[in-house]
Amino acid sequence: MKRCLGYALFIAVMLIKLIQLHSGLHAQNIDMNQQDKLISIGSLILLSFWTLWLPRRGQTIALLILNVLLTFLIYADMVYYRYFQDFITVPVLLQAGQMDALGESIFSLLRPADITLFADWLLFLCYIATRSFIFRQGEGSAHLHTLFYRSPVNLTRDRSRTKTAGFLRRTGNGAAALLLGSVLTFGPIYTYATTWARDLFTGNWWSLAMYNVTGLIGFHAYDAYQYAKDHLGPNPVLPQQEAASMKLWFAGQNAEQAQVNDSFGKYSGSNIIVIQAEAFMNFMVGASVNGQEVTPNLNALMKESLYFSHYYHQTAQGRTSDADFASNGSLYPLTSGSIFVRYPDHHFDVLPAILKENGYSANAFHAYEGSFWNRQLMYSAMGYDRFYTKKDYTLNEPLGWSLGDKSFLRQSLTAMEPLKQPFYSFLTTLSSHYPYSLPEEVQKLDTGEFAGTIFGDYLEAIHYTDEALGQLAEGLKKDGLWENTILVFYGDHDNSIKETSYYEQFLGKSLTALDMLEIMHQVPLLVHLPGAYTGTIDPKPAGQLDLTPSLLHLLGISRDPYYLMGNNLFSGQERLVTLRSGAFANAELAYLPGDDGQFTSGTCYNLDTRGTAPVKQCRTGFEESKTRLKISDDIMKYDAIRTFKQEDTQ
């Protein structure tokens, strides 16, 4: 009886922790329904039923170990979700070496209330301490050993039983638990999978949608299964019918987007400098705090550049590396992990390689460790001539993770001066990285009411990076590169500050779910073109996948031979911008999916009225977005572009 009570206590305690995790996600469906709880209970039983086959002491120790491991997993997922809005996956664990660099960022995500997740540990330690005290007072060592050893009464009783009977009892208990756990877990999941979630297991969906079907333990089990299937088995073969359908889609996209107009080839032979700015968002561009412009240099450049005011980052778990790949490779990120880490040996049509085919030199610049996000290997595969890493810079302005952006951009420009022209330079900044804590000596923005908050620190960090951008523009003019260089500046992803109250306070108005979707997913895109150019703002939706096709258009390089999914921003065609979560925006509508990934659970918005619209109006965009995500996922899974290229040359 005590064995069963102890086991039931373990299940109850871990269920409470899973519910605590769920309540901390702040998803649309905060409360777990009864089926979700049954799945969680069943998963816990499936994970631990084998402990019922052990002798009492072994079972107790095994359950304690499982408690520790599961608690750490739950807490790791909780902290990871606060930053990435996602769960830890196997590919993320394989990138765990990068976590050393995230020390301060991770520490800032911890909360005092998190201690409640470990409350049972404290109670257990108090119990052990009490038993030890009783033992030391001479009231009997049996009290101390009750947890791990049978009491003398039980020991006498057990001696009267045969070992065979004990074994059969434990076997029966374990088998019954296995059966119960299977029913509780797979029964509700089967119901979900055959109704509203029937497409979830055949597509590569957002992790939160999978979690809402399988629970946390089931999510991690399914993620491990998927990773093993993709990487430990034979290489998957792309079905011919699917390959033909994918090639037909690309042919249609190329035909629609490859418009030859006055801007096609107008800037042929120009140098290209692309700056990917860390966590640089769109909402504060042009705004002020305490009478000071947050981004004065970007504001000034907008007056003589093309600015896309509704430019979406399209990143997922890979964050900065996703932005890099989406912008240079015009394909969607993965739901799990980073393309840079998972598929560096696959073939992609990427901007540096395409430009090298057309007489350019190509170099990447990032003042950090070359191995971070597997850049050293991936950049070589992408065709860069050289990757300038932390070891190539003089660290004369140590700031945050590495070198301050001002010195980084200045030294990078010096390295570009002797390069063979035309050149393509891709620069990744770092100073505005979470948690945005700049030293006082470089702070120049009076954040007023936001002083001392992470939001105020973020504005300060962005102000610093903006000043670095202004200095780079002046350096380009001084070096004579300004008049023959296309300068591109965009943000890589959001700032991971999710509290709506900060943005309402900063913008001075209440915000809807649509407002927050746009705030958290829109980053600046500025394109400065050589020659005299009057500032123009393009308000139509655009996304990071659109950068490479658009630059090729300006240079007069046809996209026909390449497999690029993005829009050509200069084609004049309507644009659909799809996010990894399944959210999308076009000129008239925006769609925010529900947590379960099902179309009818989402919300459709009319962008003219800013109000909700009948969800059926978003059906076409939803289906096309789903198609695009699947095509991109299949390219990754099957290394499809390599196959297409081989077929094209035959």
Share of the chain above pLDDT 70, in %: 88
- Average pLDDT over the chain, rounded to whole? 88
The two three-digit tokens of residue 367, written as one number: 């003042």
Q: Following CA atoms 250, 255, 260, 266 in sequence, which dihedral angle do they give, to the nearest 10 degrees? A: 0
Which carries the bigger pLDDT value, residue 541 or residue 376? 541
Task: List every span in the chain annotated with CATH 3.40.720.10.
Answer: 270-574
User: What was the pLDDT predicted at 575?
Assistant: 96
Which helix or strand (DSSP H or E) is residue 517 part of?
A: helix 513-521
In the chain, % helix, strand, coil (3-state, to 5) comes to 55, 10, 35
User: Per-residue pLDDT tens for 109-156?
Assistant: 788 888 889 999 888 888 777 767 776 665 545 554 554 455 554 545
CA dist list (Å): 626 to 456, 592, 613, 638: 38, 13, 20, 18
Whether the predicted pLDDT of 25 surpasses 70: yes
> β-pairing, 603-606 with 361-365?
unpaired
CA dist list (Å): 603 to 504, 513, 594, 618: 22, 9, 7, 9
For the residues 11-21, what does the mean pLDDT come to? Answer: 92
Residue 257, Cα to own-chain centre: how many angstroms?
A: 28
For the residues 533-549, what does the mean pLDDT come to? Answer: 95
The two three-digit tokens of residue 369, written as one number: 């460790």
Whether the predicted pLDDT of 290 surpasses 90: yes
- Residue 575 CA to residue 569 CA, distance in Å, equals 8
User: What was the pLDDT predicted at 471?
Assistant: 98
User: What is residue 622's three-state secondary structure?
Assistant: helix
User: What was the pLDDT predicted at 27?
Assistant: 47
* Prediction pTM value: 0.75
User: What was the pLDDT predicted at 481?
Assistant: 96
- Residue 438 CA to residue 436 CA, distance in Å, equals 6
CATH class, range 270-574: alpha beta
Q: What is the 3-state secondary structure (H, E, C) of 217-256?
A: HHHHHHHHHHHHHHHCCCCCCCCHHHHHHHHHHHHHHHHH
For the residues 278-287, what does the mean pLDDT come to? Answer: 97
Whether the predicted pLDDT of 96 surpasses 80: no
User: What was the pLDDT predicted at 196?
Assistant: 60
Beta bridge partner(s), residue 590: 585, 605
